Structure formats: C-alpha cells, structure tokens
Structure 1
Amino acid sequence: MDQSFLLMLSNLLHLHNHLDPTASLLSTTPSSTSTSPSSPSSLLSSSAAPLLFFTIATVLSYITTTAAATSSSTTSSTSSPSTTTTTPISVSAFRALSTDHIWSIEPHLRDSQWRSSYGLSYPVFTTVVDKLKPYISQSNLSLPSDYAVAMVLSRLCHGYSAKTTAKRYSLEPYLVSKITNMVTRLLATKLYPEFIKIPVSRRRLYETTQAFEELTKLPNMCGAIDGNAIRVNKLSGDVQNPSAYRSRYGYDSVLLQVVADHKKIFWDVCVKAAGGTDDATHLRDSLLYNRLISGDVVWDKVMNVKGHHVRPYIVGDWCYPMLSFLLTPFTWNGTGSPAQNTFDAALMKGRMVAVEAIGLLKARWRILQDLNVGLNHAPQTVVACCVLHNLCQIAREPEPELWKEPEEMGHSPRVPESEKSYYYFGETTRQALADDLHQRLQSR
C-alpha cells in the first residue's frame, strides 16, 4: 500500500481519538458519550488544531500526488506508441544513432536496427553514403548527406509517400520529393555502371556459367531474363495514352526487364516501356538487345555441343523471342518430345533465378509494390532500387521472404524478318543442347 496513504490513515485515526477518545473511527456503532467542540472556532483553538492542519495537508498532498501519477501513467500508456511512430526523425536524433558509438553495439543488433529502418545494414548504408556524398555536396542541399540518403532509403524500404515521409522527418512534401528524385537519379546513373555490369570478364563469365551448369545441367548459360509490371500509384492527367500503361493484370504500371546471374544479381536492367507493352517488344527496344545484335558484347567462351558452336546465352520464358543469344522453351505445356521436355524443365529452373531476384527486389524495396512517385521519375526509382538490390546481394545481406507475383501469362512472339537468322541459329543450338542433355541423363 502507498506510504502516504498509510500516513494519512494513521493521522486521521490519531486526530479522531484525540477529539473523541471514547469512539473508534472503525466502530460501526455511534458513541453516546462522544463530545466535540461546539464551534469551528473552538476546534481551531484546541490543542488538536495543529494535528488537524497536518492531516488536511497530508490528504491534499496524497490526492495531488495520486492524480499526478495517474495522469502521468495514462499519458505515458496512451501516447507512448504514437510517440514512437510519429516522433520526427530530426538531424540531431539521426546523428545520435549514426555517431562512432554505434560500432560499440553488437553488430547483429546494430545491423538489424538499420535493416528495419533503411533496408540494409549499417556498413552497406555507409558505403552508399560515401559513394553519393560528393554528388550530393555539389547540390548545395541544406541537409547532411547521410541524413538525406537515410530519408530516401526509408521511403524506398517502407513504401512511404512523400507526405508521410515529410511528417516523419519534419520537412515539406515538395522537399522530400526533390531529395528523393535527386538520390534515386544518382543511384540510377552514378552507381549503375559500378554495380550493374554484363559478365564479360573471363573470370566472372566462367564462374557464372559453371554455377548455372551445376543448377540446370546446361552448359554456357550466363543469365536469366524476365519482365515485371511495376504498379504505378496513379497516372497524371497529362498522360497521352493511359491505356498503354494498363498491364495484363489490370493495373497501371511501367515495365521492368532484368537479366540476373546465379547469385540473383542483376547484370542488366531496363525500364523503358509502359506496363501494357509485351516482353518481346520491350526487349527489342532495350540497349542490351541492340548491343547483342550488333556484336558489341563479346563473350569469349565457345563450347562444342553435338558439332554446334554454343556461345554464352541467356534464358527466358515463351514470351521472349528465340535468338542465338536467348533461348526459350520448346513448349509451354510439356507437349514436346522427352528430350525437349527435359530441356524445358532445365531451362525454366535457370529462369527462376530472375523470378526470385525480382521477388527479393520487391520484398526489400516495398515502394515497388505500389510506386508513389511521379511517372517521369518512375524509371529512375525502379533502377535505383535495382542498384540497391545488387549492393545487398554482393554484401550477402539476409534475404527476406520473396514477394509473390501472379503466374506469368503470354504467348510466343512472332519472328520478324530481321531476326530470322538469329532465330534459326538459336533453334539449332537449343535442339543440340536438348539432345545432349537427354543423352547424358539417359547414360547415367
């Protein structure tokens, strides 16, 4: 029991017994011999007055203390959760988190905290800041570089709108949008060449093809291609052809095309088409297609399979065109020969690398689940997230649960006259690989 309440009760008992020694405060029967002062003035002049004043003061003190404690407890219990979620993340508060003492925290606790807030561990975060800082400094931004990067990563990681981010960081929404556009543009341009590269070096190409062969039993595979519709929150009123952005799944979007290696690292990214565009058309409009068709990309690794020269190739589903450097399944429903069906199963196993890489991308950077930036800035935001994804994969950041996409639907594209020679070369390569795989599996 509270000590002040015990004191108050003791004083009341003492006072009552002093004024009427024949009665007990705890008695339920009124005393017939009770005597009391005839007036308040006589009571005040009696010897009990100091004790009465002390008792009144004790009662008032107890009431005040109890009310204050109750009020404080209520305020704390009701406002504590909202304080944690709505307290603005000021520069000073962020600086307190990111000063040198953070290295004294247990690494797994420190990095878990930063992944929860910014989508990546503290060392990877500092890498991003160090690489962007020279460019951000040139912009005369009034905010520290690490604070600006943290704000943008928080938005990309959690999918916050500019308005929500502005509340959290005590900034104006227009300034949040401006900083987001600046940081994502820098990621998509300055860091892209460093972290998204075609595997042309002999060492990396050998490592990639060997890993894919272990996975699929198909030689010289160097990547998997896939497309994905990135939902756009809303289209602006000045879009000339809104229906072009309507994806096959029924929502407005822009189209992402990626090529991934065995580590689910993207080595090519393209966001050039509206969501209603088919995968084959998007590929043909990409820089990668033009570089491969023109022979600008040289893969110095040729294998002989069943008398055919097989150069490194990527694999995709039936929505992509068959080309000398891009192999697709024979059928989409398993109606081919045993050798063809075996090849299709192996190819689709390799293609799943790209599917899972996109699932990781959208799980890590949730803004891509419902893109809430202007359409003009959508492509650079998507590419920026791809750069960050590669940083996470290279640093071996923990992989979250994959974001699940609807099952791919589509049909085989037509073969234009300009692609017929590439198609025939790809077709003979595919058949040679299928026959070789089937023979090797049969002989075991």
Structure 2
Amino acid sequence: MDQSFLLMLSNLLHLHNHLDPTTSLLSDTSSTAATTTSATSPTSLLSSSSAAPLLFFTIASVLSYVASSSSRSSSSTTTTTTTTTTTNNNNNPSTTTPSPSSYSVSAFRALSTEHIWHMDAPLRDAQWRSLYGLSYPVFTTVVDKLKPHIALSNLSLPSDYAVAMVLSRLAHGFSAATLASRYSLEPYLISKITNMVTRLLATKLYPEFIKIPVSRRRLHETTQAFEELTSLPNMCGAIDGSPIKLRRLPNDPNSANSYRCRYGFPSVLLQVVADHKKIFWDVCVKAPGGTDDATHLRDSLLYNRLTSGDIVWDKVINVRGHHIRPYIVGDWCYPLLSFLLTPFSLHGNGTAAENLFDGALMKGRSVVVEAIGLLKGRWKILQDLNVGLNHAPQTIVACCVLHNLCQIAREPEPELWKEPEESGSPPRLLENEKYYYFGESIRQAMADDFHARLSSR
C-alpha cells in the first residue's frame, strides 16, 4: 500500500481522536489491546462499521490520489525536461551553459580521482588541456609544488580545486565575474584566489623554472644549439619586448598616457629572454606600455647584473682578435652592446657581409618571437588582461612560469599569437655604454668572420 496513503490516514486518525476522543473509530471498543493495535494500524479502518471511518477513509483516498497524481506528473515533467535539455545540449554544444554544479568541488573531485583513471592518457590530457591549459601530469606538478604554500593561507577550498580554478582563468581569459557565476562564489573571492596562486607562481616557482644559463653544461648546450640554428658561435639567448594589453587604463589621468603602447592600446611591457627551446631564462615586467624596449632593458635587473659582472659566463671564444663572451641577440630597438648584438640595418641596406650576418642574427631572434606567441596563445588572459594593475606583473610572470613548465614537459604547442610588426629607429647609446662596451667592433668582427667562413665553403 502507498506509504503516503498510510501516513495521511494515520494523521486523520489522530485528528479524529483529537476532535472526539470519546468516540471510537474501531468496531471493538471493549478490548484495550485491540484499541492500541488499531491506533497504530490505519488499515484496521477497513473493518470498522462506523460511518466516521468511512468518511475519513473517503477523504484520505481522494487526497492520496491527488497527491500521487501530482507526484507522477511532476516526475514525468522533470524527466521530460531533463531529457529535452540533454538532447538540446547534445545537438547544440555551442549553446550549452553548464550548471554551477558542473564546477563544484564534488564534480572536480569525481573528475580528478575517479573518472580520470578510466580514461586513456591522450584523451585524459587533451581534456585537461582544454579545461586548464596543460596536461594532467603537469597540472599535478603545479599543485604539488604550490600545495604547501596554499595550506599556509587557510583557504577554505582544496588546493587542487583552487589551482584548477585559476588555471582555467589564465588559459581562457575568464573574468572574475564569469568564474564567480560558474563556481557559485563571490567575485572578490575569485580575485583573492587568483592573486594568491599567481603570486606563488611568480615568487616560489620562478627561481626553479626561470634560470639564467650559467652552469657549464647548460651554457654549452644552449650555445651549441644556437650555433646549429644560425651558424653564429656563442649565442645564448634572444631578447624581445611585448606589450600586454590591459582591459582598462589606470585611474590616475596623469599616468594613463604612459601606459599607451606604440599600437595605441593600454598595456604594461613584458621583457623576456628565451633559449633555443623557447624557454624563458629571464622575465621582467616593470614598465608601462609606453616605455621603449631600450629603457625597459636598462631598468631591468638583468642589465644591472650583466653590466656589473655579477653574471659570469666563462665560455670565451676568439674571433679575429676579439674575446667574445656569450651574448644575446635582439632587434634594432635595443642598444648594441658587447653582450647584446643587434642587426646592422633595418631594411637590408648594408654590405654583403652585414646583410648575411643580419639574416643569421634574426634567425636566432625568431625563437623569442615564437616563445611570446606560444605564451599568449596558451594563456589567453595575456591577450586582454582583466586583473587590477597592481596584480598585472605577477599574473604575467606566473604565465611565463607556466609556459616554461609546458615547454619543459614538451606539451603540444598551440597556435601562435601574432604580434604586430615592430618599427622605429635604433636607440642611442648612453655615454657609459660607449666607453665600456665595444659592441660595434665585436659585431663587425663576427660579421666578417661569418662571411669568410661561408664564402670558403
């Protein structure tokens, strides 16, 4: 018998006894045991000869029928709605809007601890890249390295869940408001978690994954790889700058114009040096977008370390009487220094030896252009940065750390983000740079030697 019917009938019994306790609904009023049993068993009403039980039984039957009909109707409607929604979502994946429960802690835990072990590794990693920008093994590496630091923050969310949330924002460029609606959290909490995770990436993981190649083994490997690429000896990196677009200008009108880059949009300037594997070994973000590359370089820690002799590269070669230490290459926007070589001519107007040298030099520089393209293609938040200006540098550096992790793990490379072509006149050397660094004589010696070697083949 329907449980809802029994419950309703029991309630009617109690109601009747409350209204008229002297009148028994039972046929046998002389037996206390029978009375007790009947009071607890609504089905005994069926054997009663009184009119009252019949009335209550009729009322109960009608109410039970109405209740059960409504329940079946509601269940049917829910099932139909769910089926229709599922069908529509399957037919129109582009219009699917996942419910907040799809991004809950329980849903993430089911994905990361249960479903993942039943999936083939390629399928699993493809799914994680689509969600978080990197494969599952690289994701677990990031979580394991950040977990001890996140634990100190007393965050109420699991560490891996918080990291996944931030990675999804960096990989897809979501705003805090968008993630807040997905994860059923307040936007300020999303911003707080983003700031915490990016700060940890930019500080705790930076020294481990962004390193200047000073060890003998790594320096030899890097210079050898660049020589195979360009035929130029002792090259150890390529430098370039890239404006990172800001969604909005700073509130201070006096400084707002300094953030407009040469392409017209508000930005901060990123400076990176990459090796032959398109791995960054130096990152600097400390200038508004309107700053030129040469000024940004001179304000960087890398420049100070190179000019002060703090960085010692002991791999020295002799080219036509010139002692040449490892050097980096850049375009004409950078000053020509002994540790930074730039092209002779912007438009190929030099001599045969100079043009030949410029072509090889720019081939070496191409690795940093591709590295920046990969960076912005993989972490789309850098295409339109939607964090506060105070947190912009750490967010950019955090993406550079993640980029290196992906390159070291040999993650599939996404489609390159295309930077606009640069233009402008070469910067003028400072007086102290002219006195200490003989970039022109070094560049000329290398160009002549390079031309002679190729001509003799």
TM-score interval, smaller chain: 0.7 to 0.9
2:406 aligned with 1:373: no
Sort the Cα spacing of 1:110 and 1:75 in 2 relative to 1 into closer, same or farther, 3 A. Answer: closer
Sort the Cα spacing of 1:71 and 1:242 in 2 relative to 1 into closer, same or farther, 3 A. Answer: closer
Task: Report the Cα distance in structure 1 between the residues aligned to 2:165 and 2:318, rounded to whole angstroms.
Answer: 52
Sort the Cα spacing of 1:86 and 1:427 in 2 relative to 1 into closer, same or farther, 3 A. Answer: farther
2:143 aligned with 1:129: yes
Task: Report the Cα distance in structure 1 between the residues aligned to 2:439 and 2:325, rounded to whole angstroms.
Answer: 10
Task: Report the Cα distance in structure 2 between the residues aligned to 1:148 and 1:171, rounded to whole angstroms.
Answer: 12
Structure 2 partner of 1:150: 164
Task: Report the Cα distance in structure 2 between the residues aligned to 1:289 and 1:78, rounded to whole angstroms.
Answer: 58
Task: Report the Cα distance in structure 1 between the residues aligned to 2:234 and 2:310, rounded to whole angstroms.
Answer: 19
- How far apart are residue 312 of structure 1 and its match? 0.2
2:314 aligned with 1:304: no
2:441 aligned with 1:428: yes
Q: Which structure 2 segments of 5+ residues have no match? A: 1-72
Q: 1:180 aligns with which of 175, 179, 194?
A: 194
Alignment of 1:231-310 (within 5 A): 231-238=245-252, 240-310=254-324
Sort the Cα spacing of 1:102 and 1:326 in 2 relative to 1 into closer, same or farther, 3 A. Answer: same
Structure 2 partner of 1:35: none
- How far apart are residue 74 of structure 1 and its match? 3.7
2:401 aligned with 1:398: no
Sort the Cα spacing of 1:117 and 1:70 in 2 relative to 1 into closer, same or farther, 3 A. Answer: closer
Which residue identity does 1:301 align to in structure 2? K
Task: Report the Cα distance in structure 2 between the residues aligned to 1:161 and 1:84, rounded to whole angstroms.
Answer: 16
Aligned residues: 380
Structure 2 partner of 1:361: 375
2:418 aligned with 1:438: no
Give the secondary structure class of the aligned counterpart of 2:167.
helix
Tell which deviates more after alignment, 353-362 or 81-90: 81-90
Alignment of 1:4-153 (within 5 A): 73-78=83-88, 81=93, 84-88=97-101, 89-99=103-113, 102-153=116-167
Structure 1 partner of 2:211: 197
Give the secondary structure class of the aligned counterpart of 1:120.
coil
- How far apart are residue 189 of structure 1 and its match? 0.4
Task: Report the Cα distance in structure 2 between the residues aligned to 1:375 and 1:236, rounded to whole angstroms.
Answer: 7
Structure 2 partner of 1:20: none
Structure 1 partner of 2:331: 317
- How far apart are residue 306 of structure 1 and its match? 1.3
Which residue identity does 1:356 align to in structure 2? E
> CA offsets, 1:116-136, max 9 Å, x none?
000000000000000000110
Identity of aligned residues (%): 77
- How far apart are residue 87 of structure 1 and its match? 3.7
Tell which deviates more after alignment, 93-102 or 266-275: 93-102
Q: Which structure 1 segments of 5+ residues have no match? A: 1-63
- How far apart are residue 72 of structure 1 and its match? 5.5
Task: Report the Cα distance in structure 2 between the residues aligned to 1:338 and 1:227, rounded to whole angstroms.
Answer: 29
Tell which deviates more after alignment, 92-101 or 285-294: 92-101
Task: Report the Cα distance in structure 2 between the residues aligned to 1:153 and 1:301, rounded to whole angstroms.
Answer: 39
> CA offsets, 1:205-245, max 9 Å, x none?
00000000000000000000000000000024246410000
Task: Report the Cα distance in structure 1 between the residues aligned to 2:320 and 2:82, rounded to whole angstroms.
Answer: 82
Q: Is the 2:176–2:190 Cα contact (8 Å) retained in structure 1?
A: yes
Task: Report the Cα distance in structure 2 between the residues aligned to 1:126 and 1:73, rounded to whole angstroms.
Answer: 36
Per the normalisation by structure 2, the TM-score is 0.80
Give the secondary structure class of the aligned counterpart of 1:157.
helix
> CA offsets, 1:130-183, max 9 Å, x none?
000011000000000000000000000000000001111111000000000000
> CA offsets, 1:304-339, max 9 Å, x none?
111211100000000000111000000101000100
Task: Report the Cα distance in structure 2 between the residues aligned to 1:115 and 1:73, rounded to whole angstroms.
Answer: 29
Alignment of 1:382-421 (within 5 A): 382-421=396-435
> CA offsets, 1:243-295, max 9 Å, x none?
00000001000000000000000000000000000000000000000000000
Which residue identity does 1:155 align to in structure 2? R
Tell which deviates more after alignment, 412-421 or 178-187: 412-421
Per the normalisation by structure 1, the TM-score is 0.83
Which residue identity does 1:394 align to in structure 2? I
Q: Is the 2:315–2:326 Cα contact (8 Å) retained in structure 1?
A: yes
Structure 1 partner of 2:8: none
Give the secondary structure class of the aligned counterpart of 1:262.
coil
Task: Report the Cα distance in structure 2 between the residues aligned to 1:239 and 1:138, rounded to whole angstroms.
Answer: 39
Give the secondary structure class of the aligned counterpart of 1:259.
strand
Tell which deviates more after alignment, 382-391 or 97-106: 97-106
Which residue identity does 1:386 align to in structure 2? C
Tell which deviates more after alignment, 71-80 or 394-403: 71-80
Give the secondary structure class of the aligned counterpart of 2:98.
helix
Give the secondary structure class of the aligned counterpart of 2:290.
coil
Give the secondary structure class of the aligned counterpart of 2:371.
helix
Task: Report the Cα distance in structure 2 between the residues aligned to 1:111 and 1:79, rounded to whole angstroms.
Answer: 24
- How far apart are residue 71 of structure 1 and its match? 5.4
Q: Is the 2:100–2:184 Cα contact (8 Å) retained in structure 1?
A: no
Which residue identity does 2:87 align to in structure 1? S
Task: Report the Cα distance in structure 2 between the residues aligned to 1:422 and 1:192, rounded to whole angstroms.
Answer: 31
Which residue identity does 2:450 align to in structure 1? L
Q: Is the 2:260–2:290 Cα contact (8 Å) retained in structure 1?
A: yes
Which residue identity does 2:214 align to in structure 1? V
Task: Report the Cα distance in structure 1 between the residues aligned to 2:87 and 2:116, rounded to whole angstroms.
Answer: 29
- How far apart are residue 100 of structure 1 and its match? 5.5
Tell which deviates more after alignment, 130-139 or 405-414: 405-414
Sort the Cα spacing of 1:79 and 1:226 in 2 relative to 1 into closer, same or farther, 3 A. Answer: same
Give the secondary structure class of the aligned counterpart of 1:398.
coil
Which residue identity does 1:436 align to in structure 2? D
